[in-house]
């Protein structure tokens, strides 16, 4: 019973860490990355479709992204989606591809992005702790229902604490990497 709860909690914590790392990849560093536009959606024949399904995204240079639509009819919609996004870049449309030139980040902007990343990390830590709380409640309910002993509960809680600590450390390591990447000039 406690093993199932621990495995379930570990699985949910893994997903929370992956989610936080996915959020980190959407924060712009000094380099262009396809992830920056993959999350955007464009209206294509009346439906919102992710740009990654409508186009090929390439990085020919460190600060340039090329978005080449599979269907030229979607070029305008993709350009509008990029222009309306929070990327802070103007798309250059030459009729075949959309070129995005990312200017170098200022020091102030880098510091703002570090704050954003730290906030995302804190949300991830809170999610992991909430999963721990729910698992602990479930195990305590099992103990009250006499499904597990008090000793089993204590051992399971120690294991749960260790799992939680490991996942929080993974988030902290990811934050440190992203902060270093953001502050790198």
Q: What is the CATH number for 165?
A: 1.10.132.20
pLDDT tens digits for range 102-147: 887 788 888 888 898 999 999 999 999 999 999 999 999 988 988 8
Do residues 7 and 64 both lie within one domain?
Answer: no
Range of the domain at 73: 35-101
Do residues 142 and 52 both lie within one domain?
Answer: no
Per mean pLDDT, which of 43-57, 80-94, 153-167 is the most reliable?
153-167
What is the DSSP code string of 4-44? HHHHHHHHHHHHHHHHHHHHHHTS--SS--THHHHT-EEEE
Give me the number of domains the chain comprises: 2
User: Can you tell me the distance from the alpha carbon of 109 to that of 92, in angstroms, rounded to the nearest whole number?
Assistant: 23
Do residues 121 and 149 both lie within one domain?
Answer: yes
Do residues 40 and 14 both lie within one domain?
Answer: no
Is 44 within 8 Å of 77 (Cβ atoms)? yes
Termini Cα distance of the chain: 51
Query: Quick one: how far is CA 31 from the chain centroid?
Result: 17
| Residue 18 pLDDT greater than 90, yes or no | yes
Which parts of 60-149 fold into alpha helices (H)? 75-84, 107-144
pLDDT tens digits for range 141-156: 988 988 888 898 899 9
30 assigned to some structural domain: no
Of 93, 72, 96, residue with least CA distance to 82: 93
Domain end among 68, 101, 134: 101
- Residues in Cβ contact with 60 at an 8 Å cutoff, skipping those fewer than 6 apart: 66
Mean pLDDT value of segment 175-181: 90
Do residues 53 and 96 both lie within one domain?
Answer: yes
Domain end among 50, 77, 101: 101
pLDDT at 146: 86
Do residues 110 and 173 both lie within one domain?
Answer: yes
The pTM of this model reads 0.73
Do residues 73 and 162 both lie within one domain?
Answer: no
């Amino acid at each position: 019973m406690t093993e199932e709860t621990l495995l379930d909690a570990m699985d949910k914590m893994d997903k929370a860490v992956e989610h936080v790392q996915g959020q980190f990849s959407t924060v712009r560093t000094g380099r262009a990355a396809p992830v920056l536009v993959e999350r955007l959606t464009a209206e294509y024949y009346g439906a919102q479709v992710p740009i990654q399904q409508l186009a090929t995204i390439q990085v020919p240079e460190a600060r340039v992204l090329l978005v080449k639509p599979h269907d030229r009819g979607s070029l305008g919609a993709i350009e509008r989606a990029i222009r309306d996004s929070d990327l802070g870049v103007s798309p250059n449309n030459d009729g075949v591809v959309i070129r995005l030139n990312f200017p170098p980040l200022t020091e102030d902007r880098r510091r703002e992005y570090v704050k954003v990343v730290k906030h995302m990390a804190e949300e991830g830590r809170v999610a992991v702790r909430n999963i721990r709380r729910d698992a602990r409640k479930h195990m305590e309910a099992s103990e009250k229902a006499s499904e597990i002993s008090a000793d089993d509960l204590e051992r399971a809680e120690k294991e749960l604490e260790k799992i939680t600590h490991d996942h929080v450390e993974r988030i902290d390591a990811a934050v440190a990497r992203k902060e270093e990447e953001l502050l790198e000039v």
